[in-house]
Chain A
Amino acid sequence: MSSLRTTSTFKLGMWLLLAPLCLWLVLLIILPHLELLVFSFTDPEKDSFTFGFYQEFFLEPLYWRTFVRTAVMSIMATILTLLIAFPVAFYIAKMLKGRSKGIVFAMCLIPFWVSELVRTFGWMILLRESGVISNFLQWSGLSDGPVELLYTDATIMLGLVYTSMLFMVVPLVSTLDSLDDSYIEAGYDLGGTNWNVLREIVIPHAVPGIVSGCIIVFMLSLGNYLTPVLLGGKDSLWFTEQIYTQFITRFNWEQGSAFGLLLLLLSSLIVWAGLKISGQSFAKTMG
Chain B
Amino acid sequence: MSKETTIDLACENICKHFSDFTAVDNISFTIPKGSFFSILGPSGCGKTTLLRMLAGFEQPSSGDLLIKQQSMLDVPPNKRPVNMVFQHLALFPTMNIEENIGYGLRRQSVPKSEIAERVAAVLERVGLAGSGKKRVEQLSGGQRQRIALARCLVLNPTLLLLDEPLGALDLKLREQMKIELKLLQKEFGTTFVYITHDQSEALVMSDQIAVMNKGKFEQVGTPHQLYYQPETAFVAGFVGDSNRWQGTVESIASSTVLVNTNDGLSFKAKVMGDKAISAGNSVEIFVRPEAINVSRTVPSEETDNQLVCQVETILFDGAKSQIIAVEKESGGKITVTLPQTSDFANLQNYDTIYLNWSAEQTLCFLDNAESNGGV
Give Cα A186 to B161, complex, Å. Answer: 12
B83 and A189 contact, CB distance less than 8 A = yes
B55 at the interface (CB under 8 A from A): yes
Identify the interface centre among A180, A190, A200, A205: most chain B CB within 10 Å of its CB. A190
Question: Residues of A contacting B79 with CB < 8 Å?
Answer: 191
Question: Residues of A contacting B107 with CB < 8 Å?
Answer: 190-193, 196
Question: Residues of B contacting A191 with CB < 8 Å?
Answer: 78-79, 104, 107-108, 155
Chain B interface extent, by class? 20 to 34
Count how many chain A residues have C-beta atoms less than 8 Å from C-beta atoms of the other chain.
17
Give Cα A204 to B99, complex, Å. Answer: 13
The stretch of B61-69, B86-94, B203-211, B331-339 in contact with A is: B86-94
Give Cα A187 to B104, complex, Å. Answer: 8
A153-197 to B contact mask, C-beta < 8 Å, 1/0: 000000000000000000000000000101101111111110010
Question: Residues of A contacting B84 with CB < 8 Å?
Answer: 185-186, 189
Number of A-B contacts (CB under 8 A): 60
Give Cα A146 to B322, complex, Å. Answer: 93
Interface of A is mostly: helix
Give Cα A186 to B107, complex, Å. Answer: 13
Question: Residues of B contacting A186 with CB < 8 Å?
Answer: 84, 86, 90, 92
A270 at the interface (CB under 8 A from B): no
B151 at the interface (CB under 8 A from A): yes
Given the known interface contacts A190-B151, A190-B152, A191-B104, the answer about A185 and B94 at a Cβ–Cβ threshold of 8 Å is no
Please give the distance in Å from A215's CB to the nearest CB on chain B.
20
B344 at the interface (CB under 8 A from A): no
B136-166 to A contact mask, C-beta < 8 Å, 1/0: 0000000000000001100100000000000
B155 and A190 contact, CB distance less than 8 A = yes
Please give the distance in Å from B345's CB to the nearest CB on chain A.
50
B78 and A204 contact, CB distance less than 8 A = no
B94 and A192 contact, CB distance less than 8 A = no
A201 at the interface (CB under 8 A from B): yes
Sample of 18 further A-B pairs with CB below 8 A, known A196-B107, A200-B103, A205-B93? A182-B86, A182-B88, A182-B90, A185-B57, A185-B77, A185-B84, A187-B103, A189-B55, A189-B56, A189-B77, A190-B152, A190-B155, A191-B104, A191-B108, A192-B103, A193-B107, A200-B95, A204-B92
List the interface of chain B (C-beta within 8 A of A).
Answer: 55-57, 76-79, 82-84, 86-88, 90, 92-95, 103-104, 107-108, 151-152, 155
